[in-house]
A and B are shown apart, each in its own frame.
Chain A
Amino acid sequence: AQSVTQLDSHVSVSEGTPVLLRCNYSSSYSPSLFWYVQHPNKGLQLLLKYTSAATLVKGINGFEAEFKKSETSFHLTKPSAHMSDAAEYFCVVSLFDTGRRALTFGSGTRLQVQP
């Protein structure tokens, strides 16, 4: 079973409308969770992180995510999309119960923002 699932490979929104990128994980304990963004032909940049403090996490560029343990979800949201938000977004989780001391990446969601 996949341990990190990004439910949509592509999401398209209009500029000024809300963004929702969905992520579910499976783990035997409460992991650390992250969202990274990758703009075309660029490296990866940390958007936000959850490390067992507040369940609603605010990140850069107006993004936020809510950790819901009961739903094993960590969805990324933004109230109003901007053209510069067009990029690929990765949900990332620490799954050290796999025996590896490394983070596990979801397969990514490509966000398109239409004018």
Chain B
Amino acid sequence: DAGITQSPRHKVTETGTPVTLRCHQTENHRYMYWYRQDPGHGLRLIHYSYGVKDTDKGEVSDGYSVSRSKTEDFLLTLESATSSQTSVYFCAISEGTGTVDGYTFGSGTRLTVV
């Protein structure tokens, strides 16, 4: 989607290794989110940010950390990847809390932990 880029698009990694996914936006939106998508669960919120250095946990935050040192970048880190973290990860952005206009989503990162 225009204005939001996720990298990498695909990654295969080994159990126990650290992994960092990047979300970059050019919209200057205040809010950024990380979701994971798994069959039968829809999208579940991992972490979100409501400003530089301001982050909060979502419903499935265990095993994940985030950082936001500048408005345009929101990083998701798996400190020690496990097979249960194999998933498709989506980043999203919103100007406000999303209650008026919803979110704009990135194209996703498919992560496989072997």
Contact = CB atoms under 8 A, between A and B. Distances in A.
Given A90-B43, A100-B56, A51 B108 contact: no
B50 A101 contact: yes
A108 B103 CA distance: 17
B40 A102 contact: no
- Interface bracket on B: 20 to 34
Contacts of A77: none
- Interface bracket on A: 20 to 34
Interface of A: 6, 9, 31-32, 34, 36, 42-46, 49, 51, 90, 92, 94, 96, 100-108
A103 B98 contact: yes
Given A43-B90, A43-B107, A101-B50, 6 more contacts: A32-B99, A34-B102, A46-B103, A102-B48, A105-B43, A108-B42
